[in-house]
Amino acid sequence: MDITLQLHSPDPEVRRLAVMELPYSDEVDDIVPPLTTALADPSPQVRLEAAKALEGFEELDMLEQLVTLLKDPDPGVREAVAHTLAELKEPASAPPLLPYLSDDTPWVQAAALHAIKALRVPEALEPALTALHSPHPEVRREAVGVLAYLKRTQTLDELTRLAVRDSEPEVRRAAVGALGFASESGDVDVQLTLSRALGDGVWQVREEAAATIGKLGLQAGIPSLVTAMDDDYWQVRLKAARSLGRLRARDALAALGAALDHPISNLRKEAVIALGELRDSRAIPFLEHALTDIDPDVRKLSRLALAQLGMPEAVSPTSAGGAA
């Protein structure tokens, strides 16, 4: 069946499938008119596919209609529209989005904040700061994302507050991650906040804090990271190991060496990489032990780490008793 006929089929499933095929069809020279029609389709599934189809296309002709769909009653459509607008990364999409940053409807406000964050629009600063006090966690989370992209030092107080005091883990985690974008390593409040976040009751927040300390190069965070190497969750230990390697934290030698006996191979790999980054000859016995690891990737990384420490002969698989 001709795709044009499919787009006008009385069956919404046929229309939905036709919209999915539009970007790849040779039958339609200009996809803007049919997609414009599809964005107003009575079926939410068709509208959703139309919004998705626009991702990656700079179709600013239908920008206003896309923004209007942030009020669509179907949450899937709203999510697809927000994602498409965010992917466009087109400054022209900012002005029509700005009024929605303070919308009375929480999901509309959250979607607008999500869509505008990558544009780094200065006019979004005040609405985002106001949105941090929303009673709705999804709004606060997306507002944090806007502030992270803007990288303004005046937002640090708010971000540090949310990182340790917000009632919702997803907001605390977003705020902890945002500190990595918005701050400088010399900020004492940020250092204290991230160390406190490593003691958060939710492991995802601790994981984010461990990663952010390394991104910022916070030497003052090393003791907290060493403690995090005993975390109940291996995901937290992995990020702590990565950050300790970045920081060349020689005080973490024993903690990283102990991680080589953990049952999760991804953590063992990260520990091996970190031991090599320490540039400390005391790591050699740990790395030689790792040459016998059951995981070939751990063995390979061990040889490379030993080479970093001045033992190039370890790069040869034969140095590990023939283990590859």
Give pLDDT, residue 59: 57
Q: Is 128 exposed, middle or buried (0-12, 13-18, 19+ CB in 10 A)?
A: buried
Amino acid at 290: A
Pairwise CA distance, residues 108 & 100, whole Å: 7
Low-confidence ranges of the chain (pLDDT < 50): 318-324
- Cβ burial, residue 153 (10 Å; 0-12/13-18/19+): exposed
pTM: predicted TM-score of the whole model, two decimal places? 0.81
Query: What would the two tokens of residue 49 be?
Result: 């596919």
pLDDT at 290: 96
Structural domains of the chain sorted by starting position, each given as residue range(s) with its CATH number in brackets: 228-324 (1.25.10.10)
Q: pLDDT value at position 58?
A: 58
How much is the pLDDT for 214? 95
Query: C-alpha 146: how far from its chain's center?
Result: 13
Do the beta carbons of residue 100 and residue 110 sit within 8 Å?
no
